[in-house]
Amino acid sequence: MYAVIVGGGVVGYNVLRALTGLGYETVLIEKEKLRFANLEAEYEHMVLHGDGTELAILEAAGVARADLVIAVTGLDNDNIVVAQLSKEHFKTAKCIARVNDPRNQEHFDALGIRFTVSASQSILSLIEHEVPDHRVVNMLNLRHENLEIIELNVGPGAPIVGQPVAKIKMPSNARLISVTRDNESSIAVGDTVVQPGDRVMAILEPSKEDELVRLLLGD
């Protein structure tokens, strides 16, 4: 699977982390120089500097062979352009576009951009999940894919504490992506051992969230 992400903000960065954690071949396009430099320092050749609304940049990123294009800039017009170019010019099989202003959803729909994620939906999910008893941050909902990316701190009594990832009995269709400890993040691989207080990111079906939360929090 080859994916191209346009936009290196918080959403784009976390999608990049998620997809690389799943083993996808991934390239992210970012036009802002400082943000690009920060991303390049961590992901090197997986980050391309340029404007993702320009045909030449999309070509350089290899959109022609991409299975998936994800447009998650902070500008709806840019996301529409990326989705349209990917769909019409490059014939990309699937394009997911971020809708920053819900009032623009109808424009995405009118242009046939079927797979969208709303920034407002993500914010509402964040508020919903940030109640004291839950402690889960919903990073991204891919509603047409029936997937979500969540992040939370591992509880001291969690069943997974002290276990390597390879031996953790995860819910079906759920996977740990990354582990952050002492401000250092790493991809969750088979021999990664989870400790109390670790900040973990996971991708899963929404129906599996409660089961995964119990596993990670021990509540």
Furthest-apart CA atoms within the chain: distance in Å: 52
- Of 18, 16, 23, the closest CA to residue 1 belongs to 23
Q: Return the DSSP state at 192.
A: P
State how far the Cα of 118 lies from the Cα of 99, in Å rounded to an integer.
Answer: 5
According to CATH, the topology of domain 2-118 is Rossmann fold (3.40.50)
SS3 201: strand
**What was the pLDDT predicted at 129?**
47
SS3 211: helix
Give the pLDDT confidence score for residue 175 in this predicted structure.
87
203 phi, psi to nearest 5 deg: -115, 135
What does the buried/exposed string (b/e) look like for 18-49 if buried means 16 or more CB atoms within 10 Å of the residue's CB?
bbbbeeeebbbbbbeeebbeebbeebeebbbb
Q: What is the pLDDT of residue 184?
A: 80
Q: Which two tokens stand for residue 79?
A: 């996301």
Are the C-beta atoms of 147 and 140 separated by less than 8 Å? no
Among all chains, which residue has been given the structure tokens 């802002």? Answer: 32
In CATH, what is the architecture of 146-217? Answer: 2-Layer Sandwich (3.30)
Report how far residue 101's alpha carbon sits from residue 213's, in angstroms, rounded to the nearest whole number: 30
Please report which residue ranges of the chain form alpha helices under DSSP H: 10-21, 33-43, 55-61, 76-84, 105-110, 119-129, 209-217
146-217 shares the fold of 2-118: no
User: What is the reported pLDDT for 28?
Assistant: 98
- Domain range list for the chain: 2-118, 146-217
The two three-digit tokens of residue 147, written as one number: 């997937």
Residue 113: C-alpha distances to residues 1, 4, 76, 98, 104 (Å): 21, 16, 12, 10, 12
Per-residue pLDDT of the chain (219 residues), as tens digits, is: 899 999 998 888 888 887 887 778 999 999 999 999 999 999 999 999 999 999 999 999 999 999 889 899 999 999 999 999 998 999 988 888 888 887 888 888 888 776 666 654 453 444 344 434 445 555 555 555 677 788 888 888 888 899 898 899 988 888 888 888 887 878 888 899 999 988 888 888 888 888 888 888 876
Round to whole Å and give the CA distance between 150 and 22. Answer: 14
